[in-house]
Amino acid sequence: MTTLDRDVVIIGAGPSGLTAAYELRKAGKTVAVLEARDRVGGRTWSQNMDGATIEIGGQWISPDQTGLYSLIEELGIETFERYKEGKSVYIAEDGTRTVYEGEDFPVGEATIAEMNKLIAEMDRLTAEVNPDAPWEHPQAAELDMVSFHHWLRTISNDEAACNNIGLFIAGGMLTKPAHTFSALQALLMSSSAGSFSNLVDEDFILDRRMVGTMQGVSIAVAKRLGEDVYLNNPVLKLDWSEEGVTAYGAGVTVNAKKVVIAVPPNLYSRISYNPPLPRRQHVTHQHQSMGLVIKVHAVYSTPFWREEGLSGTCFGPNSIVQEVYDNTYHGESTGTLVGFISDVNADAMFELSEAERKETILKGIAEFLGDKALTPEVFYLSDFGSEEWTRGAYATSYDLGGLFRFGPDQNKNVGPIYFSSSDLAGEGYQHVDGAVRMGRRTAARIVAAVDGTDYDVNYDGVVSKFAAAQEQNA
Ligand SMILES: Cc1cc2nc3c(=O)[nH]c(=O)nc-3n(C[C@H](O)[C@H](O)[C@H](O)COP(=O)(O)OP(=O)(O)OC[C@H]3O[C@@H](n4cnc5c(N)ncnc54)[C@H](O)[C@@H]3O)c2cc1C
């Protein structure tokens, strides 16, 4: 067992923990990062399978994600655009397949009008919601009492419009059924992306990818931290007092002034705290749970859909595979599709045998793009739900009423213990951008606490869009 003395110990080498460590090092603090897995990157993870680059976890970046953009600029990492040329495919509730162009789903004028009404209402409210403090909105309490599913239906009685709009946040983002989270939680999701219109625009929200993959960002930061990153060191025990902490990894023990817990909130209780955390944290952490989505990759010898004038973008709010995109990696001649199977559809897939699951999913993709989709050269199903150090995907969110009740405390430190996660972020919530912003914020707060200086409110290096908009409106 190695024992180290450091200013700060960081638990978790995902993008948030690594960014925190990197910023702390830049500020002259000594750090050690203890990571449970045998790799860095957490929910970002890539592998090469039979010559195709597969991003198993997080991969896309949108233009508003300036926290992550500023980090990759510093690291010298380039991005490339997702393939977006050609027409999209939509499958309606009755199974009708339509090839279409433009932003609107091919659903009939009345439903389009209802969808636009819902989008306008979401945009109006989103502009009033501060992503860093959604609980401060004047109607926060009532918005957190009603499920997103029911709230949509108070505005529109067009079932197809409600389902289509619900999909963007339920299946598409929080990966929970829309009846399990509140309208306020949905508004946090849209305000984290600047507007609901941004969120429903796949060309915006799924704009670009990293050359060298999203996990490459964590690998590049870890390289700069060198020997201060300790893999295969799950921390299951933490002693703490106002004077400092001792974190016990599998082979490394670290005594430090402060600790950054940079694991997803659903895993906070994996660690045994001595003395126990205060009641407020015990209760709060039980109301944050992971969604569930399966991300499936199918690699073909060529991107055959492109030859047919299709972009590979497909939506089916009532289909097993609700979203499909062309996910061919930069410079590869093979064609890769990625499909997402969310929440209850994902549950259903795990009731099947492996062979049946593969067949059902490929049939789902073929309903959009034809029979050629049935026979990929590589098929890879990523299941973060079975990963001990994540337990779901993409991220955690609160249950009904939880965001208003517990949100105001989620970012408070408990003595020397600080929490940092994309799942606690405002801008970039549930995204790598939010992980980076939270890493910087946490580092800035710790530096101020250790040095007795003022906390830098521009912690994440970029101006808050919400604050800027408020100022302009004033
Ligand atoms: C399938 C999938 C697709 C996604 N798509 C996108 C996308 O396209 N774009 C995007 O921006 N985001 C996406 N995300 C979300 C993004 O990956 C996360 O928001 C981001 O990785 C969170 O970073 P983090 O550092 O907060 O947490 P994590 O990445 O979860 O890192 C936490 C780390 O802590 C470690 N850990 C856990 N417990 C312990 C312990 N007790 N001791 C030591 N270490 C521990 C874990 O092993 C992990 O390495 C996706 C996520 C998934 C799962």
- pLDDT, tens digit, for every residue of 308-335? 999 999 999 899 999 999 999 999 999 9
Average pLDDT, the chain: 95
User: How much is the pTM?
Assistant: 0.97
Give the position, in ligand 1's atom list, of the atom nearest the Cα of 59.
8
What's the 340 CA to ligand 1 centre distance in angstroms?
Answer: 17
Which of the four pLDDT bands, split at 50, 70 and 90, describes residue 461? low
Is the pLDDT score of 468 beyond 90? no
How many percent of the chain have pLDDT more than 90? 92
Is the pLDDT score of 467 beyond 80? no
Is the pLDDT score of 472 beyond 80? no
Report how far residue 181's alpha carbon sits from residue 191's, in angstroms, rounded to the nearest whole number.
16
pLDDT of residue 350: 96
Which of the four pLDDT bands, split at 50, 70 and 90, describes residue 397? very high
Burial classification of residue 381, based on how many CB atoms lie within 10 Å of its CB (0-12 exposed, 13-18 middle, 19 or more buried): middle
What's the 14 CA to ligand 1 centre distance in angstroms?
Answer: 6
pLDDT, mean of residues 11-35: 98
CA-atom Rg of the chain in angstroms = 22
Q: Which of 44, 210, 215, 438 to mutate to test the pocket of ligand 1 (most atoms within 8 A of CB)?
A: 44
Domain boundaries for CATH 3.90.660.10 within the chain: 46-64+77-85+292-386
Domain boundaries for CATH 1.10.405.10 within the chain: 108-205
The string of pLDDT tens digits covering residues 175-206 is 999 999 999 999 999 999 999 999 989 889 99
The string of pLDDT tens digits covering residues 35-52 is 999 999 999 999 998 889
What's the 110 CA to ligand 1 centre distance in angstroms?
Answer: 40
What's the 2 CA to ligand 1 centre distance in angstroms?
Answer: 27
What's the 350 CA to ligand 1 centre distance in angstroms?
Answer: 22
Is the pLDDT score of 427 beyond 90? yes
Q: Whose CA is nearest to atom 34 of ligand 1?
A: 12
pLDDT of residue 187: 98
Neighbour count for residue 293 (Cβ, 10 Å): 27
pLDDT of residue 51: 87
Give the position, in ligand 1's atom list, of the atom nearest the Cα of 392.
53
Q: Whose CA is nearest to atom 6 of ligand 1?
A: 58
What's the 44 CA to ligand 1 centre distance in angstroms?
Answer: 6
Reduced to 3 states (helix: H, G, I; strand: E, B; else coil), residue 33 is: strand
Report how far residue 102's alpha carbon sits from residue 408's, in angstroms, rounded to the nearest whole number.
40
pLDDT of residue 445: 94
Is the pLDDT score of 460 beyond 80? no
The string of pLDDT tens digits covering residues 361-379 is 999 999 999 999 999 999 9
What's the 331 CA to ligand 1 centre distance in angstroms?
Answer: 26
Tell the CATH topology of 2-42+214-277+414-473: FAD/NAD(P)-binding domain (3.50.50)
Q: Whose CA is nearest to atom 21 of ligand 1?
A: 43
Name the architecture of domain 108-205: Orthogonal Bundle (1.10)
Is the pLDDT score of 208 beyond 80? yes
pLDDT, mean of residues 66-74: 96
Give the position, in ligand 1's atom list, of the atom nearest the Cα of 393.
53
Which CATH class, in words, describes the domain spanning 46-64+77-85+292-386? alpha beta
Domain boundaries for CATH 3.50.50.60 within the chain: 2-42+214-277+414-473
Q: Which of 11, 43, 288 to mutate to test the pocket of ligand 1 (most atoms within 8 A of CB)?
A: 43
pLDDT, mean of residues 375-401: 97
Is the pLDDT score of 251 beyond 70? yes
Which of the four pLDDT bands, split at 50, 70 and 90, describes residue 466? confident
Q: Whose CA is nearest to atom 2 of ligand 1?
A: 57
pLDDT, mean of residues 81-90: 95
Task: Give me the half-sphere count of Cα atoms (radius 13 Å) on the Cβ side of residue 468.
Answer: 6
pLDDT, mean of residues 259-267: 98
Give the position, in ligand 1's atom list, of the atom nearest the Cα of 422.
26
Which two tokens mark 394? 């993409």
Report how far residue 453's alpha carbon sits from residue 450's, in angstroms, rounded to the nearest whole number.
8
User: What strand order describes the sheet that includes 208-210?
Assistant: 60-61, 208-210, 79-81
Is the pLDDT score of 119 beyond 80? yes
List all residues whose CB is within 6 A of at least one atom of ligand 1: 11-17, 34-37, 42-44, 57-60, 234-235, 262-264, 267, 270-271, 295, 382, 384, 389-390, 393-395, 421-422, 430-433, 435
What's the 218 CA to ligand 1 centre distance in angstroms?
Answer: 11
The string of pLDDT tens digits covering residues 271-296 is 999 999 999 999 999 999 999 999 99
What's the 43 CA to ligand 1 centre distance in angstroms?
Answer: 3
What's the 59 CA to ligand 1 centre distance in angstroms?
Answer: 11
Report how far residue 245's alpha carbon sits from residue 448's, in angstroms, rounded to the nearest whole number.
18
Is the pLDDT score of 469 beyond 90? no
Which of the four pLDDT bands, split at 50, 70 and 90, describes residue 246? very high
Q: Where are the beta strands (DSSP E) in 12-96?
A: 31-34, 46-49, 52-55, 60-61, 79-81, 87-91
The string of pLDDT tens digits covering residues 132-170 is 999 999 999 999 999 999 999 999 999 999 999 998 999
